[in-house]
Amino acid sequence: MNAPSPAQDTAPMPPLARHLIEAGDHFIGRLQQGQRLRIVDLEGNQAADTLFYNACDVAERYSAVDTVREQGSLYLTTGSVLRSTLNRPMLRIVDDSCGRHDTLGGACSSESNTVRYALDRRHMHSCRDNWMLAIAHHPEYGLTKRDIGHNINFFMNVPVTPEGGLDFAEGISGPGKYVELVSEMDVVVLISNCPQLNNPCSGFDPTPIELLIWRH
């Protein structure tokens, strides 16, 4: 595979930090209130499985159900307010060149892969295994399995039909598409760059993403 090229930086200010996350790798870090995070889908059709925690008390964390109920809509895009398990605003999506992100489908795991695909897929790398490694390597954040909740899949398309069906559709993302968020509180960010090889969401070729962080 070719070395991934860094994202085009279209913002006026250079970022405080940038992190490249290859497919199947993870990121854990802090974002201060008011900081801006851009997640870039470098090669397109990748899924960034993301969790957020209140950095002061990680028992309060991103809640998909509070988020979709309060905005009255299943999909996330510019203007969406990401809410916590206490129904408080955690982050806001301020820019989105992709147009739609999923928060219904959850993250892949070796256990759910056995159900969804075949019992012998258990050994395949998954997002939840990725998160487990991240929290095991970083006890300083105080996260354990009990804190692993219902996440966001940035760049992923999981349309619900009016009849109530659920589909994992071809991605609507593309190379260089990004989503940008502003933090409303100090948060811990936990991302698995999805290694999923069982469904067509990444065209069976998981690719890198990049994070850019600005002070404001």
Partner 1 sequence: MNLVPDVDYRTRLPGGQHWSLRLRRGASLTLIAEEPGCNVGLLLYSAEQPLERLNLPDTLKCQHTFHLGRGHCLYSDMGRVLASIVEDDCGGHDAVGGNLGPGHFEAKGWRRIRYQQGRNERTQSGHESVLIELAKYGLGLADLSANLNLFSKLAVDEQGRLRYLPDHCAAGDRVTLRFELDVLVMLHTCPHPLDPSPDYPHRGVKIELGTLPPPDRTDVCLSHCAENARGFDNNRLYLLGQ
Contact between 61 and partner 1 by CB under 8 A: the answer reads yes
Binding mask 130-149 for partner 1 (x = CB under 8 A): ---------------xxxxx
How far apart CA 96 and CA 98 sit, in angstroms, is: 5
CA dihedral 30, 176, 83, 58 (to 10 degrees): -20
Residue 73 touches which of Zn ion, partner 1, none (Cβ within 5-8 Å per kind): partner 1
* Between 64 and 209, CB nearer to partner 1: 64
Between the alpha carbon of residue 31 and those of residues 35, 116, 126, the distances in Å are 6, 34, 25
Contact between 45 and Zn ion by CB under 5 A: the answer reads no
Contact between 129 and partner 1 by CB under 8 A: the answer reads no
H or E element that contains 172: none
Among 25, 112, 141, 182, binds partner 1 (CB under 8 A): 112
How far apart CA 216 and CA 195 sit, in angstroms, is: 31
Contact between 86 and partner 1 by CB under 8 A: the answer reads yes
Residue 11 touches which of partner 1, Zn ion, none (Cβ within 5-8 Å per kind): none
Contacts of 157 (CB under 8 A, 6+ apart): 100, 102, 168, 169, 170, 171, 172, 173, 201
Q: Tokens 């404001």, residue?
A: 216
Among 1, 119, 123, 216, binds partner 1 (CB under 8 A): 119
* Between 50 and 183, CB nearer to Zn ion: 50
Residues that bind partner 1 (CB under 8 A): 58-61, 63-66, 68-69, 72-75, 85-87, 100, 104-107, 109, 111-116, 118-119, 128, 145-150, 158-162, 164-168
